[in-house]
Homo-oligomer: A and B are copies of this chain.
Amino acid sequence: MQSKAKGAPRRVRVDLGERSYDILIGSGLLSQTAEYLRPLKLGKHGVIITDTNVEPRYAGPLREALGKGGITVEVLSVPAGEGSKSLRQADRIFEKLPSLGLDRQSFVIALGGGVVGDLAGFVAASYLRGLALVQMPTSLLAQVDSSVGGKVGVNLPQGKNLVGAFYQPRLVLADTDTLATLPARELRSGFAEVIKHGAIRDAGFFEWLEREYKQVLALHPDAVARVVRRCCEIKAEVVSADERESGLRAILNFGHTLGHAMESLSEYVGLLHGEGISMGMCCGARLSVKRAGLSEEEAGRVGDLIAASGLPTRLGGSFKLEELLAAARLDKKARNSKLRFVLLKRLGEAVVSDAVTDADFVEVMDVCR
């Protein structure tokens, strides 16, 4: 259900001093890209980094849209999927860039979902010690979460996001039309991050999601625009307060310690990020009842919304407890190898806690199977 209405885009500001930038959200933005880039005063030559799913749909139209503004771009494409968030793909791109005639005024456009945004962001952060980065997220997950906030990087076999940087984009352009071509499972995976934003920071938004989740998943334009904007506002607020995750920002990792552990153990095959964190949030809600005073009723609502959206709530038998525990310890938010979890005190309020013991973990994992 692609909306053709072309109103003025919604604008969310990420306030980070000299690294501040806008997130523009709306329908039909892609065809206006040259206009939105103009105020940034970038060079006239750049590179689009995308993947094999997104390239055939959007790389051509984007190149054309930029051409109208006198901007020329090369297109580099990686295989679709989490496997491309690797040092190997980063190196492959690094080795292609010198022949493209880029200079320090050149820019990188990350056109795609979370994998492309993180990979292209790391490349932009590192090539010539930093080129201007424009995020053009085409998945719900990337539009509501990963394209905003400046975390970029790649995975190692031992864990997610172990190599990367804090590197803010100069602009985020979220064209909600691109969500129409997203497979349903990818859409639901992105919706897991939407639920997270409500759970950690805005009980009213969570309630609205409980009522309207079907509208969002059916891509009703107003519902989608509202969801993307509200999530970006929440993320912008948190990131502005704590860019480099010395405190508050860690709450964005609700569900992620376990989610990452599961993704790592499944070697990024067969489990989408949003599916991992859905199970992680369900376990997180149980741990929150035990260690942060969350009510049983609210913990139940977290699980219910996840389940209603078609996302997994239970781990199933495929993960060994000891392996999950070891992977959770390796999570880079861990300090001195202690378990560190984001817990909910109530819907809309999250805390970072070191209070979860191995015994709690084992008990809750058992319940969540």
Task: Give A contacts to B, CB under 8 Å.
Answer: 43, 87, 91, 94-95, 97-99, 101, 103-105, 122, 125-130, 151, 153, 156-159, 161-166, 244, 330, 332-337
Contact = CB atoms under 8 A, between A and B. Distances in A.
Given A104-B332, A335-B105, A126 B164 contact: yes
Contact of A153 (B87, B129, B157): B129
A157 B334 contact: no
Contacts of A126: 122, 126, 153, 163-165
Contact of A91 (B91, B105, B165, B332): B91
A163 B101 contact: no
A103 B164 contact: no
A128 to B, nearest CB: 5
Contact of A129 (B91, B103, B165): B165
B330 A158 contact: no
Contact of A330 (B98, B161, B163): B98
Given A103-B336, A127-B163, A87 B98 contact: no
Contact of A103 (B122, B166, B334): B334
7 contacts: A87-B87, A101-B337, A104-B333, A125-B165, A129-B151, A129-B153, A129-B165
Nearest to A88: B91
Contacts of A129: 151, 153, 161, 164-166, 332
A156 B95 contact: yes
A94 B87 contact: yes
A158 B101 contact: no
B101 A91 contact: no
Pick the most buried of A101, A129, A164: most chain B CB atoms within 10 A of its CB.
Answer: A129
A167 to B, nearest CB: 9
Given A103-B334, A103-B335, A130-B244, 18 more contacts: A43-B336, A87-B87, A87-B91, A91-B91, A95-B156, A98-B156, A98-B158, A101-B337, A103-B336, A104-B332, A105-B336, A122-B126, A126-B126, A126-B153, A127-B163, A128-B332, A129-B153, A129-B166
A87 B337 CA distance: 29
